[in-house]
Amino acid sequence: EPEVTQTPSHQVTQMGQEVILRCVPISNHLYFYWYRQILGQKVEFLVSFYNNEISEKSEIFDDQFSVERPDGSNFTLKIRSTKLEDSAMYFCASSLTGEGTEAFFGQGTRLTVV
Amino acid sequence: GNSVTQMEGPVTLSEEAFLTINCTYTATGYPSLFWYVQYPGEGLQLLLKATKADDKGSNKGFEATYRKETTSFHLEKGSVQVSDSAVYFCALSVGTGGFKTIFGAGTRLFVKA
């Protein structure tokens, strides 16, 4: 069964460093997303991406964040200068179309900023 | 705006007990509704979905019915197992451009043998 793949599963970084989280969405999907879940809290939407551009972003997704689809398969989230409060589980998701279809989630990358 | 409210946990049940986790939503437009499950240390898995009023989603013995009149999508299971212990998230998807998924806070379920 096709699945969304995220790497790495766990990343530890020092405050102020840049990190790139990587995702390979399901191959025929058109919509891509990043979500974040701070430990023990709700899953929060960060950004959606369609047709090679951001279609929506939340207030969490400030200038420190960026997304890119550098080739036909990868979808990345970059945090330019990490802060302690960026420590969270980051989930990538993809969906075939928009309304009415479910998003398929990856296993997540646990980011720890020290 | 769009939001999901679900009952707070944790919910602790004995094996073979009946489970209900309440979920209500607010949405502009006509949402699709989902239940996702997160087992310990794992990612989010879709459990079931419903895309229009009166639809019943079902999977692995879990059921939920899309009730437009009460804006609810309560999750039920007739007989829970220890392996059902997880966090359950009610969610909705609605929108024009991004079709993002909006999650409730999650309800942790513990099932005792």
pLDDT digits (tens, 9 = 90+) for B9-34: 899 999 999 999 999 999 988 899 99
Contact between chains at B46 and A104 (C-beta distance less than 8 A): yes
Q: What's the pLDDT at B98?
A: 58
Q: What's the pLDDT at A2?
A: 80
Which of B32, B97, B102 is the closest to A45 by Cβ?
A: B102
Q: Taking CB atoms and an 8 Å cutoff, what residues of chain A touch B36?
A: 105
How many H-runs (helices) and E-runs (strands) does chain B carry?
Answer: 0, 12
Q: What's the pLDDT at A1?
A: 76
Quick one: average pLDDT of B56-77? 97
How many H-runs (helices) and E-runs (strands) does chain A carry?
Answer: 0, 11
Share of chain B above pLDDT 90, in %: 78
Q: Considering chain B, what is the average pLDDT of its residues?
A: 93
Residues B62, B58: Cα–Cα separation, whole Å:
5
Which are the contacts of A80, defined by CB distance < 8 A and separation ≥ 6? A18, A63, A64, A65, A66
Share of chain A above pLDDT 90, in %: 77
Q: Does A48 touch chain B (CB under 8 A)?
A: yes
Q: What's the pLDDT at B41?
A: 81
Which of B46, B98, B103 is the closest to A102 by Cβ?
A: B46
B32 phi, psi to nearest 5 deg: -95, 145
Q: Is the pLDDT of residue B97 over 60?
A: no
Quick one: average pLDDT of B54-83? 97
Q: Is the pLDDT of residue B108 over 90?
A: yes
Q: What's the pLDDT at A70?
A: 86
Quick one: average pLDDT of A23-35? 94
Residues B76, B57: Cα–Cα separation, whole Å:
11
Q: What's the pLDDT at A110?
A: 96
Residue A39 in tokens = 């430990």
Q: What's the pLDDT at B22?
A: 97
Which of A31, A48, A91 is the closest to B44 by Cβ?
A: A91
Quick one: average pLDDT of B61-68? 97
Q: Taking CB atoms and an 8 Å cutoff, what residues of chain B touch A33?
A: 98, 100-101
Q: Is the pLDDT of residue B96 over 70?
A: no
